[in-house]
Amino acid sequence: MKFDIERPYEPKNSEYRFDSFASGKTLLNKKKNILPPMGWNSWNAFGSGNTEKLTKIMADCFIELGLDKLGYKYLVLDDGCYLPERVDGKVANEETKFSQGFKALSDYIHSKGLKFGMYNDVGTNLCAGAYVGTCGHEETDAQCYVNWGVDFLKVDNCYYPWDNATFSDAQNARYVYAPNIKSISLEKVSDEADGKASNTNTAIKSAASDGVLWGEGAYVKEDYVTSIGTFDGTGPEHSPVGPLSSELRFIISEAPGEYLLKVEYSTGREVGVGSWLQIGINRAESAEADIVYDDFVEETKNGSFAWTEPIKISISHGENIIRIMNHRRQENTLCSYAKLLEGLNKADPNHNIILSLCEWGKTQPHQWGYKVGDSWRILNDITFRVGADGDPGHADWESDYTPGVAPQYNKAVIMDEFAGLDLGWNDPDMMMIGMDGLDMTQCATHMAMWCIMNSPLMLGLDLRRVNKGDDIYTIITNTDLIALNQDRLGIQGKRIYCSNIVTDPSTTYVRDNKRVDAVAKPLSDGSVALAFFNLDKDNKSDSQITISKDDIISFIGNKMVNKECFEKAGSYEIRNLWTKETATNSDGKFTAPVLEPCGNYVIKITPV
Amino acid sequence: MYSDKKYLSRGEFIEQLGYSIEEAIELGIAETEDRLFFEKNIERRTAVRIIHEYMKRCLNLPDLDDISEAEKLKDLYDCHICVNHIAQVFCRGIMNEYKPGEFGLKCYISKEEAKNIAKRINDIRGLTC
């Protein structure tokens, strides 16, 4: 189908649709069982000032520091490496900063035994503005990346034409919100039994009084329903757990047969009110809807309401649900990333390119990202004050928005059920260890958090600033912590204690950092890693905190390799993953000391 | 210096700082795309990038740590690569809100505003000499 910038890619089959997000089925033979990637990304270190020379130096540093022996292997060029426009329809290297071209750089990195990563965007432009986004060029770009020997692709979401993404037209909201809905009408065409024309009156059902709101977001305003769509997950306001989109549903009690359905609507081009309507029918408890309409409707003016053309539908025996919805925010983005994956598969059916979805959590990718990707960003950036050559950049522990270790951790820590070897990994962004603004305690806790949460471990500093044996080196090379992240059981740690809440610590979204958390992670050798984090940057923790083996089992027993062995062990070996000291515990109660502000205590508990 | 057009081009904006486009690229104040779009109207988000890089590289001004004043701009985080440029330039008073509570990332810079920006940069330049 010819590319049309006005039309989002069509979901190819039901597996691209919202109803299949929980199916666990990947698309396009996407390979799984890949542990969290480890490496270095240029953005936090050098911003758009990264160069070929700097990247080669970083590759050399990997070897000198022995990082390659510890699992760090991907060197990823982020934004700022391309010419601002395509050359003969293809992306090309910025000639001053990357004079030898990407293949030469790729060869250099591969010669060191490392892997080469690059960056692009599913929109029309990259975030820094270059008009080289993959939108409409997926096959061409994929071929280039394969030709250059790319092993990792980070793909951003700026200038995305089919959602109101960064730099996109704000009116693109028309794609991702349903219109305001006032009512539906059902006119019977024929009986199911004999197919004869019916003389039943048309039934009008009010959205406000007859409709049922499903999910979260949509609400009744005056006599209509508005905000039918999916939450924007870029900011830290919403929990990632629970319903993240909404629909208007009508439970139909009419007799089986053929009907003409019409919808009374009013369009807009802003957050909450769009022009794209999806109508699905779920018949007799079927899990997937029969999509009977999925397109723009004719736009109305000044908030006035109009009726759609009649849509022929069939109602069967049993419960039928008419769903008025718009899941295109998620489906459009999924289709775009799928298009790129298709291109990669066509260019090399045997490729092992890691696909890192960088749409900042906007479309709630933890629900669908596994189908096409290996990791998905969960929020906007962890820092907006990136470094440059000679400038380490700036990091914060916390903020009211997404910058900071704590905001990213606070969301990722309750997303463990969305990650795994058969899925992929939540990505709370590249690490900020080594940037100004974080002290060594905070850097150490940052590393421990990212490791136990199975996050991708992407260093973001100028590695020339690291010397073997210094504090940063000690933190980023902690083999015990890295082993947690790379444990072959592939289970993200679960928060099993949170000091300032009484609700379920594993799923409650907490943004108040005056607290201590405990996170437990089952390991492939039958051990459990237990980490305590003091999120408070001003105060020590109030007291020691004790977690029992029963606490641990109640939360992660079902994920343990040998729960019974852990439960019934007479004693446990406790290994402190920072000091490397070991001790024996025989009461099954594991106590963290009072923690410094932003401090952590991480132990590995092995049943004896 | 200025053409008769209502808005300033990227090239004119860079020249206002006292550099040719090639000099500016060499110094790291401008990027390759600025050469490509030399004659296009400059958007405020591009202007803050250039001004910020000029402040750092030519005036040796360190970034302000406290950028809380910029957080009242509701479009501050709309462009994740522009956030710090906007914050630094706004908090130093070089560029103001486009309209109350909004920076106006994609709005063009008028001749009048360009003169005001030039004056404020000169004031800062005077303070750093």
Picking from A106, A118, A109, the residue whose alpha carbon sits closest to that of residue A62 is A109
> Are B36 and A85 an interchain contact pair (Cβ–Cβ within 8 Å)?
yes
* Phi, psi (rounded to 5 degrees) for B62: -70, 155
Partner residues linked to A245 by β-bridges:
A230
Q: How far is A127 from chain B (nearest CA, A)?
A: 7
The count of other CB atoms within 10 Å of the CB of residue A53 is: 14
Mean pLDDT by 10-residue block, N- to C-terminus, for chain A (608 residues)?
88 96 97 97 95 98 98 97 96 95 98 98 90 97 98 95 81 95 93 59 92 97 97 94 97 90 96 96 85 97 96 91 98 98 98 97 97 98 95 95 97 98 98 97 98 98 97 98 98 97 96 98 98 98 96 98 96 98 97 98 97
Tokens read off for A84: 């601002």
- Predicted confidence at residue A29, as pLDDT, reads 96
- Predicted confidence at residue B79, as pLDDT, reads 84
Question: Distance (Å, rounded) from C-alpha B57 to C-alpha B27?
Answer: 7
Picking from A278, A147, A170, the residue whose alpha carbon sits closest to that of residue A232 is A170
Q: Which residues of chain A are within 8 Å of residue B31 when distances are taken between CB atoms?
A: 48, 80, 128
Tens digit of each residue's pLDDT (9 = 90 or more) over B22-39: 999 999 999 888 998 899
| Residues 18-57 in B contacting A (C-alpha not used; CB under 8 Å) | 25, 28, 31-33, 36-37, 46, 56
> Are A166 and B80 an interchain contact pair (Cβ–Cβ within 8 Å)?
yes
Tokens read off for A389: 């050559």
- Predicted confidence at residue A192, as pLDDT, reads 56
- Paired sense of beta strands A203-206 and A276-283, if any: unpaired
Closest Cα in chain A to B60? A391
Tens digit of each residue's pLDDT (9 = 90 or more) over B42-97: 999 999 999 999 999 999 999 998 999 999 999 998 888 899 999 999 999 999 99
Q: Could you tell me the CA-to-CA distances from A471 to A392, A468, A474, A532, A577 in Å, in that order?
A: 16, 9, 5, 21, 15
Residue A306 class from Cβ within 10 Å (0-12 exposed, 13-18 middle, 19+ buried)? middle
Q: Which residues of chain A are within 8 Å of residue B29 when distances are taken between CB atoms?
A: none
Partner residues linked to A273 by β-bridges:
A270
The predicted model scores a pTM of: 0.95
Secondary structure (DSSP) of A83-137: -SB-BTTB--B-TTTTTT-HHHHHHHHHHTT-EEEEEEESSSS-TT--B--STT-
Q: Could you tell me the CA-to-CA distances from A387 to A47, A158, A395, A417 in Å, in that order?
A: 6, 21, 10, 34
Q: Which residues of chain B are within 8 Å of residue A391 when distances are taken between CB atoms?
A: 56
ipTM over 0.90: no
